[in-house]
Amino acid sequence: MSLTKKKLPINTGIKMLESAQTLITKTGKNLGLSAGAIKRLLMPDAVHELNFTAKIKGKTEVLQGFRIQHNNKLGPYKGGIRFHPGVSREEVQALATLMSIKCAVAGLPYGGGKGGVVIDPKTLSAKELEEVSRSYARAIAPVIGPKVDVPAPDVNTNPTIMSWMVDEYVKVKTEKPTFDQTDSSRRNLKNKDNNLLATFTGKPVGEGGTLGRTEATGRGGVAILKALLAKMQTRMKKKPGEITIAVQGFGNVGYYFAKIAEEEGFKIVAVSDSKGGVFVPAGLSVATTLRCKKEKGSVAGCYCRGSVCDVKNGQPIANEQLLELPVDILVPAALENVVNSGNVSRIKAGIIVEMANGPLTEEAFAFLAKNGRIIIPDVLANSGGVTVSYLEWYQNMHQERWSEKKVNERMESLLMGAFSAIWQRSLEKKQSIKQAAFELAIERITAA
Ligand code: NAD
């Protein structure tokens, strides 16, 4: 109890759920859906609230978890599992709802789901983390499956955790009492069991995971940005080398977005992490910045020697300043609600690529859209991740293993299909890309 309820964070999930539901209601009304049809889209198919136990610091603790299955009209529920002390039913429901939209936007044969455990994993030993993961997997085992509900990593969960979870799930389903849980004997599984591996995506490569997943979200975001710029040729006259980009966040999404955008010839002028950022007007090297972050613990200390920073080539900046830089493209790739009513009037970028989930509040989005900024919404911009999760699932289901090149090509082709349909609709109906994406997704779900 003390482990999960200490310093209970404010339930930001309530606001998140309200916001997702307002968007769906507005879109449903625009599409002329009946009140009943809209209500059906708002209500999840099933809410599983789970109490399960794990031994932590020598004591058996009862933990609370969720698996919320929002809508499966287009296919199995799909969505990650997060471990966080702030997890709430409302937050998981909001995220499950947005997964239904994201999968429909991406044209994937999936519905939306999400899971969560109310726990701070940073307080756990590796053994305790494994026990929590296995215990949660056992609790959700009756309601998931390769054709029913397919979880994946999310905040504070990773391929290792997926490996423990899928191992536990296979144990439950195959009912082999002698199955050795410490031995990765999944390699010996027969084809039918291989399908069981498809129940979780984001697994380690070599244990049913796919090549290309780590980079997928960043790579997909860059592909969509390039597609947008190609459509905007008449408005954006600069060549890639002259187009400046600032990226907030230097984790999985931010780092790979910056790295791949740099490889594509764009000029990355600023990056940041939780401790601050660095601004290099002439363009920075992503590889050098990563090396420096590894040495100094943050990108904020790069271009500095001791307390002296090289203000000519690069200067430290606060996270808030990064958002307000006079760049062509702003890529918030860290947290939600970072662009809000407090700073929106100071945002100068003409294009914003929402790589994080929900980095712009609704108010900020409306203000920027009204002022002619182009915003690639999160449900499209970061859908490369779930698209490659789908390709992992597909490979597992068909007993195939693809090269990274093939995975990347398939992902890009799926994303380009999604982008073209949304772009076309936004032009025809004179809508924002976000509005077009939500309409298309809801049309696809209701048509199914
Ligand atoms: P991550 O934990 O790997 O990286 C997060 C980064 O944000 C880190 O560099 C961290 O230092 C930085 N950060 C934390 N607080 C910050 C602050 N106040 N200001 C600036 N930077 C800060 O997480 P990630 O996987 O890169 O996910 C980032 C966002 O992208 C999240 O919103 C996540 O939901 C979303 N997303 C991730 C994926 C994926 O495949 N990883 C897919 C879709 C969406």
DSSP-derived secondary structure for 323-369: HTS--SEEEE-S-TT-B-TTTGGG---SEEE--SSS-B-HHHHHHHH
pLDDT at 177: 52
Surface-to-core class of residue 304, CB atoms within 10 Å of its CB (0-12 exposed, 13-18 middle, 19+ buried): middle
pLDDT at 429: 95
pLDDT at 237: 76
List residues with catalytic annotation.
Answer: 114
For atom 33 of ligand 1, which residue has the closest CA? 356
Query: Tokens representing 215?
Result: 């980079």
Query: Tokens representing 185?
Result: 């004997």
Q: What string of pLDDT tens digits covers the 448 residues of the chain?
A: 444 445 555 677 898 899 899 999 999 999 999 999 999 999 999 999 999 999 999 999 999 999 999 999 999 999 999 999 999 999 999 999 999 999 999 999 999 999 999 999 999 999 999 999 999 999 999 999 999 999 999 999 999 999 999 999 999 998 755 444 444 445 455 555 669 999 999 999 999 999 999 999 999 999 999 999 999 876 677 888 899 999 999 999 999 999 999 999 999 999 999 999 999 999 999 999 999 999 989 998 887 666 666 656 788 999 999 999 999 999 999 988 999 999 999 999 999 999 999 999 999 999 999 999 999 999 999 999 999 999 999 999 999 999 999 999 999 999 999 999 999 999 999 999 999 999 999 999 999 9
Q: Does ligand 1 have an atom closer than 6 angstroms to the CB of 27?
A: no
Helix (H) or strand (E) holding 380: helix 378-381
Query: Tokens representing 164?
Result: 């423990």
Question: How far, in Å, is the centroid of ligand 1 from the Cα of 417?
Answer: 26
pLDDT at 302: 87
Question: How far, in Å, is the centroid of ligand 1 from the Cα of 278?
Answer: 17
Q: Does ligand 1 have an atom closer than 6 angstroms to the CB of 195?
A: no
pLDDT at 235: 67
pLDDT at 2: 46
pLDDT at 181: 46
- Distance between CA atoms of residues 248 and 255, nearest Å: 9
Q: Does ligand 1 have an atom closer than 6 angstroms to the CB of 194?
A: no
pTM for this entry: 0.92
Count CB neighbours of 76 within 10 A: 21
Q: In what order do the strands lie in the sheet with 244-248?
A: 315-317, 276-279, 267-273, 244-248, 329-332, 351-353, 374-376
